[in-house]
Amino acid sequence: MQFEELDLNYDVLDALDDMHFIECTPIQEQAIPPLLEGRDLIGVAQTGTGKTAAYLLPVLSQLRDGGFPRDAINCVIMAPTRELAQQIDQAMQGFAYYLDDISSVSVYGGNDGIRYEQERRALSLGADVVIATPGRLISHLSLGNVDLSRVSFFILDEADRMLDMGFSDDIMQIVKYLPSERQTIMFSATMPAKIVELAKTILTDPVQVQIALNKPAEGIQQSAYICYEPQKLRIIEYLFKQRKPERVIIFVGKKVHTKDVAIALKRRGYNAEAMHSDLLQEQRDDVMYRFKSGQIDILVATDIVARGIDIDDIQLVINYDVPHDEEDYVHRIGRTARAGRDGRAITLVSEKDQPLFRDIERFLEKEVPKETVPEELGEAPAYTGRAEKRSARGNRRRSDSGCRRGGQHRGGKRKAKGNNDPAQQQTPHATADTAPLQQAEGQATPTDQAKPKHRHRGGKRRKKPGNDASATPSE
């Protein structure tokens, strides 16, 4: 279906036409018509399917058609992270390029007092659309900076992620400030029981739209290396020798280890930077800007960038650590092969993580191809799908191949007496080169025209969009 076949406002269609967005994605085709009818909706689809446009377009269309108060906040969009809130705001500015009378403000933490005052002013003026993270919005509510009593649209984006991050109570607290008569829209990548319960609580007779739940895109070439922990960095070096690293994301399980991996790669001459939640907002913005613009080749990150980051040309995703949740695996590798492109996803599976990876294969209902660890990197463990057990004396039992791993601790590390520095721990498979890392872990916008720039209420300037070759709006 094409966007022009939908009952969208003509000004919204003009923006889509300038952005060269012609065909709807499946989630957009199924979600937009009931939303235009004013129905509550819960949409379930994997990342990268165009969920942002699926709710923004009908809301903007209804706001443009009129009938809503001009001095009130009409729409509240909740996002789990600052990065997703910023991305939604960018999409909003593109889709609303010809909607001069519709204003928006993004509200999120991690910035200075000047930014907070700008948010307060914009909220007090009654921006039509507020895009916010839960904690920051509650901060403004508690200080009386915002009135949500006349909100007509309440949207939860990445609802499952918000609940995973512990925002359930915050969401219910925000709901208390909203009128009972409203249109509520919830989008989620998964549908666990807690999402079902939340939907029953805040939605009224919702339409449910579900698209290709939890399956990676067909264009992703998946594979895995079964290895010991100290071999991981050397495998990455081996991969980068085969092909120069460009547009690469390496996912690490713990934020405390992202710096270790990034530093280790820098020492080897690679252009890498770390991205995690402990960075200041301006630092995170700078890293993401430089990565998107190609100034950084390798982004070493936690799951903070596994969802809601709109970068369409990621060539390679490496899971340095196996994620503990099967769905997180899908979201991680979903950073590549977006917008119809192909991509590659490689997972490094240490012996202690074999059960986790076996669970992922069961979840995917297929076996992920296993690559052979190069001989020069040493012996690799067999893949059994089970963590190797210890004998009563603390040694490894024999694996299926009959090789004995005497004296190794989990993760392939030998515990050194009186030395807690992982950089100095050695294993029979480690070398001086690998030892230091044994614990390491736009949105398209309308074409340039001779149109004056407009400011959002609260002093925010709407950026003039540029071109994008994408055929459909994505998240």
Are 127 and 241 contained in the same domain?
Answer: no
CA 404 to CA 199: how far, in whole Å?
52
Task: Say if pTM beats, i.e. exceeds, 0.85.
Answer: no
Most confident of 185-199, 233-247, 330-344: 233-247
Q: Is the pLDDT of residue 464 over 70?
A: no
pLDDT at 146 over 90: yes
Residue 126's contacts (CB-CB under 8 Å, 6 or more residues apart) are 69, 70, 71, 72, 73, 147, 457
Determine, yes or no, domain membership for 149: yes
Total H helices, total E strands in the chain: 14, 16
Residue 258's φ and ψ, nearest 5 degrees, are -65, -40
CATH number of 288's domain: 3.40.50.300
Counted domains in the chain: 2
Q: How many residues does the chain have?
A: 475
Q: Is residue 111 part of a domain?
A: yes
Q: What pLDDT does 225 receive? A: 97
Same domain, 281 and 347: yes
Per-residue pLDDT band for 470 (boundaries 50, 70, 90) equals very low
Does some domain include residue 433? yes
Asked if residue 467 belongs to a domain, the reply is: no
Spatial contact of 42 and 206, defined as CB atoms under 8 Å apart: yes
Residue 249 and residue 118 share a domain: no
252-261 tens-digit pLDDT:
988 788 989 9
Q: Is residue 127 pLDDT above 80, yes or no?
A: yes
| Two structure tokens written together for 184 | 């509520």
Is residue 281 assigned to a domain?
yes
pLDDT at 82 over 90: no
**Residue 338: inside a domain:** yes
Instruction: Indicate if 134 and 268 belong to the same structural domain.
Output: no
Would you say residue 349 lies in a domain?
A: yes
208 shares a domain with 262: no
Tell me, yes or no, whether 472 lies in a domain.
no
pLDDT tens-digit series, residues 23-40? 998 999 999 999 999 999
Average pLDDT for 207-220: 77
Residues 198 and 272 in one domain: no
Assess whether 455 and 420 both reside in one domain. no
Q: In terms of residue numbers, what domain contains 157?
A: 3-213+444-461
Q: How far apart are CA 106 and CA 180, in angstroms?
A: 24
88 and 207 housed in the same domain: yes
Based on the domain organization, do 261 and 207 belong to the same domain? no
Assess whether 225 and 149 both reside in one domain.
no
Q: Which residue has the higher pLDDT, 337 or 245?
A: 245
Are 69 and 357 a contacting pair, CB within 8 Å? no
Question: Does 142 share its domain with 268?
Answer: no
Question: Residue 340 — very low, low, confident or very high, per pLDDT cuts 50/70/90?
Answer: low
Q: Which two tokens stand for residue 89?
A: 């705001």
Determine the Cα–Cα distance for residues 390 and 28; give it in Å rounded to an integer.
52
By CB neighbour count within 10 A (0-12 exposed, 13-18 middle, 19+ buried), where does 1 fall?
A: middle
> CA distances (Å), 261 to each of 162, 282, 300, 430, in order?
28, 22, 7, 16
What is the reported pLDDT for 282?
80
406 and 424: one domain?
yes
